[in-house]
Structure 1
């Protein structure tokens, strides 16, 4: 069912997952001990109901089908894995190192999205 959707709708679904996942992780300070899949799913549902046009482009019978839900669960896993496995850039590493030296902090980060979060956090502390 998911494969039958237009590429634009699939891209929008993927974008809504990644945007809400990164926002959820930021809301818990990227603390894996605070992570709750249930809370993330609630966050994602709120996000796509409020912000995503793709929900209106999928027939109701597809949205309610177990097959579609299984395919979306697989897509969520893929998106989460991709985000968590994308390495931080050298530019991010250098900028964070510079900011941490100024601030005397020692934040760690494991992926590009977390590095983006840490970099913004450090910039905000400098203000």
Structure 2
């Protein structure tokens, strides 16, 4: 069912997963101890029903299908794995290192999305 959707809808679904995942992680300060798949799923459901452009473009019978839910779960696993494995950029690393020296902090980060979170956090501290 997922494969039958237009490429634009599939891209929008992927984007909604990554956006809501990164937003959820930011809301828990990227703290693995606070992570709850149940809370993330609630967050994602709220995001896609209120903000995602794709939700209104998928027929109701598809949205209610167990096959579609299984395909979305697989897609979520893929997107989350990609978000968590994408390396921080050299520019992010340099920016974070510079700000951490200024602030005397030592935040760690493991992926590009977490580096973006740390970079924004440090920018806020410098204001």
Q: TM-score, normalised by structure 2?
A: 0.98
Q: Distance in 1 between matches of 2:52 and 2:96?
A: 33
Pairwise CA distance, 1:53 = 2.1
**Number of aligned residues:** 127
Residues 76-91 of structure 1 aligned to structure 2 (within 5 Å):
76-91=76-91
Does residue 1:56 correspond to 2:56, yes or no? Answer: yes
Q: Deviations over 1:69-102 (max 9, x none)?
A: 0000000000000000000011111110000000
Map of 1:31 onto structure 2? 31
Runs of 4+ in 1 over 3 A off after TM superposition: none
CA RMSD of aligned residues (A): 0.6
Could you say what secondary structure the match of 1:87 adopts? Answer: coil
| Structure 1 segments unaligned to the other structure (5+ residues) | none
Aligned to 2:43: 43
Q: Which residue of 1 aligns with 2:71?
A: 71
For the pair 1:110 / 2:102, whether they are aligned, the reply is no
Cα distance in structure 1, aligned partners of 2:93 and 2:26: 18
- Aligned match of 1:13: 13
Runs of 5+ unmatched residues, structure 2 = none
- Could you report, residue by residue, the CA deviation over 1:54-73 in whole angstroms, capped at 9, with x for unpaired residues? 11111111111111000000
CA distance in 1, matches of 2:15, 2:57: 15
CA distance in 2, matches of 1:66, 1:46: 19
Question: Residues of 2 paired with 1:114 and 1:76: CA distance?
Answer: 18
Structure 2 residue matching 1:41: 3-state secondary structure: helix
For 1:53 and 1:118, locate their aligned partners in 2 and report how far apart those are by CA, in whole Å.
Answer: 28
